[in-house]
């Protein structure tokens, strides 16, 4: 059953050069207990989409179209007070990009976790903190330590514990493994997989690193220049990606059998001056006349949905 869903969501940033369309008519959904990934290069609109869905956009960014349904309620229509009281962190929580550096350096991890619980009227005892830390495989001694005394992986786990402290139904994680070594990256992804199963939560994982999530997510969205270009079960996607951009993303990743990295020539288009047709046209080896003229809609191809005139 669908838990969280964005329908036709568009987000713009007004600039002196006109409106930058960071997210353009995006439809995405997250089911109960589902682990879904959003992939794409920097600037594709992944983080902006997540911030918009959780009402965390800061001005001048604004949602100009669409709705975000949580259990069928359009949360964009709620007042700030209703959303803060009944949804933010209690039902929808987020681990932000770079969040492991978000702890206040002069307070211990335990006191910062207690502050979150107390602010929301929850029990903030030593045993609650101990249980929270245990949930993310951290020793109780972490509670009395300061952020600078923890490794990057420990800080990221502590921040995940903070995001879980009010027992949300949805956890959105934005590049949770950035700046961590590969072993620690794998343990963070395994932790998210375990938490999803044990706590029964739904996880939306945003990343540019396809290799990292290839075995973690059940379903995957690929974003390019503010739009979704491919969506489907990850097993189908990784066996045979259909959109030329997805194929390029995969050939930009080293594999166990090959060191060859092809990359994708060129850059993202100017989001303040988007071309009328497919936004990948200037970089696509298969571009045709129709691609320059008409924007390809997402349509069913096998078990996936793909936005490309090749299909
Ligand atoms: Fe390439 Fe055309 Fe498909 Fe866009 S629509 S990805 S330009 S083939």
Residue having the nearest C-alpha atom to atom 5 of ligand 1: 308
Using a 6 Å cutoff on CB, does residue 301 contact ligand 1? Answer: no
281 occurs within a structural domain: yes
How far the first Cα of the chain sits from its last, in Å, is 29
pLDDT at position 66 over 80: yes
Give the dihedral sign, CA 276/281/240/182: negative
Q: How far is the CA of 244 from the centre of ligand 1 (A)?
A: 7
311 occurs within a structural domain: no
Same domain, 148 and 286: no
Stated pTM of the model: 0.93
36 near 221, Cβ under 8 Å? yes
Q: How far is the CA of 260 from the centre of ligand 1 (A)?
A: 24
Same domain, 163 and 175: no
Burial of residue 225 (CB within 10 Å: 0-12, 13-18, 19+) is buried
Give the dihedral sign, CA 270/275/279/281: negative
Tens digits of per-residue pLDDT, 11-55? 999 999 889 999 999 999 999 999 999 999 999 999 999 999 999
192 occurs within a structural domain: yes
Number of domains in the chain: 2
Q: Starting at the earlier edge strand, list the strands of the sheet with 18-31.
A: 18-31, 2-15, 62-70, 73-74
Give the dihedral sign, CA 36/96/201/87: negative
Last residue of a domain, one of 146, 167, 188: 167
Last residue of a domain, one of 133, 149, 167: 167
Tens digits of per-residue pLDDT, 211-262? 878 878 999 999 999 999 999 999 999 999 999 999 999 888 777 676 777 7
Same domain, 143 and 253: no
Last residue of a domain, one of 147, 167, 187: 167
Above pLDDT 70, what percent of the chain? 99
Same domain, 50 and 141: no
Range of the domain at 129: 101-167
Same domain, 230 and 187: yes
Same domain, 81 and 145: no
96 occurs within a structural domain: no
Tens digits of per-residue pLDDT, 117-167? 999 889 899 999 999 999 999 999 999 999 999 999 999 999 999 999 999
Instruction: Please identify, by atom number, the ligand 1 atom nearest to the C-alpha of residue 288.
Output: 2
Question: Token pair 């092809």 is at which residue?
Answer: 262
CATH code assigned at 14: 3.40.50.300
**pLDDT for 29:** 97
Residue in 225, 220, 306 with CA at minimum distance from that of residue 30: 220
Same domain, 195 and 279: yes
Tokens of 163: 């995001």
């Amino acid at each position: 059953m669908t838990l969280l869903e964005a329908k036709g969501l568009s987000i713009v940033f007004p600039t002196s050069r006109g409106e930058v369309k960071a997210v353009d008519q995006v439809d995405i959904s997250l089911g109960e207990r589902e682990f879904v990934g959003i992939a794409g290069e920097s600037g594709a609109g992944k983080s902006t989409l997540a911030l918009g869905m959780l009402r965390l956009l800061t001005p001048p960014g604004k949602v100009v179209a669409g709705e975000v349904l949580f259990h069928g309620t359009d949360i964009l229509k709620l007042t700030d007070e209703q959303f803060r009281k009944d949804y933010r962190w209690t039902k929808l929580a987020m681990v932000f990009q770079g969040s492991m550096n978000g702890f206040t350096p002069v307070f211990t991890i335990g006191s910062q976790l207690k502050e979150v619980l107390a602010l929301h009227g929850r029990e903030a005892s030593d045993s609650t903190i101990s249980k929270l830390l245990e949930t993310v495989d951290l020793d109780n001694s972490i509670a009395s330590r300061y952020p600078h005394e923890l490794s990057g992986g420990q800080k990221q786990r502590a921040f995940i514990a903070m995001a879980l402290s009010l027992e949300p139904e949805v956890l959105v994680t934005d590049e949770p493994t950035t700046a961590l070594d590969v072993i620690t990256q794998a343990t963070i992804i395994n932790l998210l997989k375990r938490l999803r199963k044990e706590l029964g939560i739904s996880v939306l994982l945003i990343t540019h690193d396809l290799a990292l999530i290839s075995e973690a997510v059940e379903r995957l969205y690929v974003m390019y220049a503010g739009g979704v270009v491919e969506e489907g079960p990850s097993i189908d996607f990784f066996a045979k990606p259909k959109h030329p951009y997805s194929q390029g993303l995969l050939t930009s990743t080293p594999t166990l059998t090959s060191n060859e990295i092809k990359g994708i020539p060129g850059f993202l288009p100017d989001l303040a001056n988007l071309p009328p047709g497919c936004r990948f046209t200037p970089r696509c080896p298969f571009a045709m006349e129709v691609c320059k003229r008409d924007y390809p809609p997402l349509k069913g191809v096998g078990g996936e949905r793909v936005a490309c005139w090749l299909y």
